[in-house]
Structure 1
Amino acid sequence: MTSSATRDRLFAAAIELIAERGFTATTVDQIAERAGVAKGTVYYNFGSKAALFDSLLEFGIGRLATALRDAAEGREPLAALEAIVGAELEFLGAHDAFARLLIAETWRRGGDWQHAATMIRERVIGTIADVLRTAVETGRLRPDLDVGTAASAVFGMVLAVAMDWRALQPDRPRKEVESTLLDLLRGRLTSL
């Protein structure tokens, strides 16, 4: 098995276990067992459980950011924003353990939470902000829009709805959830 395949298995095992049990309660032995590798393989690839967690966040956040950038590529700003909402919802729906990990662990890991929050802000929310900034610059959104706050709000709204959908309404079609999110984004809550 290639090193990349081994790392992917370790990432998948760690995401599942940390989402199920929390970072502190998850051991390297459990990660290795779930991944089907020797304990030393975890240390060989990452050095420590903390380094594995940091790499895991980098990996997941990077994949989410790439999905959002790819969705926005080549679209006019408002269509790009809608595509980003759909891509974020799809990614979080497909990787709900990673979404739980982001919510549960990113914010509670002592001083390390700031590094993870910065990665999310720069890579994921930054992608949304770029699209919003372009929409403002092209006159598609109002010129006084607080782009940073709006980008955080869009990301957070989709994250919260994705968690609700996967945890409490898993049989609800993704497109139905996405449609409601897009209506909110378009400001159509009160119009018929």
Structure 2
Amino acid sequence: MSAAKQHDDAASAGRDVKRRPARTNATRLKIFSASLTLIGERGHHAVTVDEIAAAAGISKGSVYYNFGSKSELIGQLLRFGTDILLERLREPSGAATAREELAGMVRGALLFIDDYPAFAQLWISEMWHSPSDWREELIELRGQVLGVVRDAVRRSFLERGVAPESVPAGVVDVTASALFGATLILGQDRQVFTVEHDIDTCVRTVLGSLDAAPAAG
């Protein structure tokens, strides 16, 4: 079957199936799990709705029933993964110091990537891909993640005796972006090239960017 014919069939199925919320969370979880497995193997462009449905053990109509289209499925998958990542990032919020909290965030994010490598692959491939079908969603989701990291970075500056007014404009944002970006790339690199690198070493390395940030004096 040609790609054009598959596209027409998918569009027709999407029109025929009334789009409603998933009947059960279990169905969506099956679809998300199957999607991540297939995306991890071949990338989302090469994966079809038929393959996702088969891997999830449901009908193609059920996929459209829950999501309406493959594009919407990927968008919801990005939100699903980000929600889990945000939970991991917030777990160390009760740490004694902001630096310990940031260390816990980096560790949590690296373990998240260990658990969901295909999600990290999808995020990286689409975040810096222009244009991306999910650009607006990714900007919003990235903002949510960086907001959590940014708060801890700001507190870490205060703990080091840095007065807020002495911090150059944008330094907190840049530091938060550097921490998250380095963690994301390093976590993905561990999956492919450097599996022997232990988590503790990775955490210390990523936090090195904090040491280059402004200090009191």
Give the alignment's TM-score, normalised by structure 2.
0.76
Instruction: Give the secondary-structure state (helix, strand or coil) at the position aligned to 2:157.
Output: helix
1:144 aligns with 2:173: no
Instruction: Give the secondary-structure state (helix, strand or coil) at the position aligned to 1:56.
Output: helix
Deviates more, 1:104-113 or 1:64-73: 104-113
1:36-185 alignment, distance < 5 Å: 36-108=57-129, 110-140=131-161, 143-144=166-167, 146-182=171-207, 184-185=208-209
| Shift in alpha-carbon separation, 1:86–1:39, aligned structure 2, 3 A | same
1:180-191 alignment, distance < 5 Å: 180-182=205-207, 184-185=208-209, 187=211
- Pair member with larger Rg: 2
- Offset of residue 77 of structure 1: 1.2
Amino acid across the alignment from 1:161: L
- Offset of residue 58 of structure 1: 0.6
| Root-mean-square deviation over aligned CA pairs | 2.3
Deviates more, 1:62-71 or 1:134-143: 134-143
Equivalenced residue count is 186
Q: Tell me if the contact between 1:58 and 1:119 (Cα under 8 Å) persists in the aligned partners.
A: no
| Shift in alpha-carbon separation, 1:138–1:4, aligned structure 2, 3 A | same
Give the alignment's TM-score, normalised by structure 1.
0.85
> What is the aligned-residue identity percentage?
34
- Offset of residue 174 of structure 1: 2.9
* In structure 1, C-alpha distance between the alignment counterparts of 2:62 and 2:37, rounded to whole Å: 18
Per-residue CA shift, 1:121-169, capped at 9, x if unaligned?
3211111001112223444557415111110100011111111111112
* In structure 2, C-alpha distance between the alignment counterparts of 1:111 and 1:185, rounded to whole Å: 29
Instruction: Give the secondary-structure state (helix, strand or coil) at the position aligned to 1:170.
Output: coil
Amino acid across the alignment from 1:150: T
Q: Tell me if the contact between 2:175 and 2:210 (Cα under 8 Å) persists in the aligned partners.
A: no
Structure 1 residues not aligned, in runs of 5+? none
Instruction: Give the secondary-structure state (helix, strand or coil) at the position aligned to 1:110.
Output: coil
Amino acid across the alignment from 2:131: G
Per-residue CA shift, 1:102-130, capped at 9, x if unaligned?
11234336353432331333211111001
* In structure 1, C-alpha distance between the alignment counterparts of 2:188 and 2:155, rounded to whole Å: 29
